[in-house]
Chains A and B, each alone.
Chain A
């Protein structure tokens, strides 16, 4: 993991090293090992390095091609760099380092932008092509968006400027980038608990979409898609190509592909470990590590309250596969003490409360290793979320005439709300009311978006009351994405939506920022190119079978467990997930945050959220008439973020 940043100023302007140094320092957590800056005319590149492969200073970035006219700053790993290097050396390229980064400049020289299509890995990169007649800066991001990339293009023709960075913080070092909030993004943040790409929380900044590139020069701006993205999005049967092979052969192939992927991703010049939750994905990674012949260090986080604790499963898996296992048992104080630091790690508002667990676990792992494998992506590729299943099962409701359906579920909602306040015992009732509300959807897209991020969390109309303005009801969001998937079977549409929204904006963003906070590189073997392509070929009936989510990986895991003498039940148990008791904490230990950040008068002065509407939510939550913990946490996170970065 590293951090990249840079600028391309307007004609006649000169980039200054000092400014790029400031940008680099703003993301020093991402790369504590070295800093590099390169300035040439109006262009400047900056890099913070976390050394993983080729620890020598010679591999510090920016890295250049042989004649120094092509330069790159890069965040990520390219796992097939050895193969590509051989190919490029045969074509006459001379390598100065052992680093995977150098592949990018030589590959680009050889194959142009298509070079990126050959990469198997995770990457966000910026490449300066200073050759005569080119003089262009190219930004690119891997197909799943494992690594983040923000950019800003301001000014018109003749005075246009580009800036980019792995995070928002470096961009905020530049006085010419406006601080104005994108109020639509604020609204969407409240809806999804993240800011959906390609938007950012600021009007003048955007996130590069996963699997795309942007070419910027004085001549203009051009955008395009990587071919890898199309390959992984062929997707999930999208092209109609389905494997007719039987379950047994697909199981064998999954085993092989996963083992290969893990083997590739274990390449490192520093110690590698693995996060182990005891769930299906992380357990499979451990099994695959064993198959690769690596004894590995594993890391789990447990909660002192049994209800939230999964460490027992993780311990069993670790013992069975002979890992060197480490457990962190955290209590409320550990979490609460971490809260003030959140805006420092998440420099764009982010409100998935499990990020606290991720940060604690990453810090814990960083004490022993510099790289950790994570099971991210398994759920998205193999249909692993209960919400995905719920969405699939609720979809047929669409067949009912809209007016009748809305009347029916509207009446059901009113009936349920008439049952009154049942306090904590009324949680099922609250969920039923939420469901009744969701089922009054106006369009298919609206139904789908209800299940992205936090389910609910409030009817859009009520959410809009929180953020006054002429926006917020223009949804459904992700409409173009959902429309582009029309014609695909429902399961594929759900899979694609999760891959392109929740995976990148919540799952991967959380892992990146949490590990970045302590200089730990997270790798995600499930998002290996070959694995993704394989998952796309697996028939849906082997992903969701007899109601069992992620059937094929579970089946593989059950076999692995049997071989190691573990009960196979462990592989089939329902997804538990790691949650924290936020609902209770916001009424008790974290109540001070509600008072501090949602104070009516301070909200009124800020003018962004409607104080009375917020107060209504707070009261309902504190009186246990509803569970608004996610929304309150989003509001608190947002205000903490704003205070830290914009005030």
Chain B
């Protein structure tokens, strides 16, 4: 079980696309920073519909996206720490 993290916007590169190619069903994905912007794309939203997905709450709130993304699982930094322990490793793309 791997926790994958994406910090960059899909407008800036292919980090998320690469991650999704090599991510397995049992893995989880955490979007933080501009990685959160990925969910503003309907195509990516659709693509992530079966993924275990977390968003860093502070970064969502900072961007004024709390309402737009309220359907997703928002986590604190403390939760983030716990996820790094409950997964076998973390890959930051």
A pairs with B: no
Chain A residues within 8 Å of B, Cβ to Cβ: none
Residues in chain B within 8 A of chain A (CB atoms): none
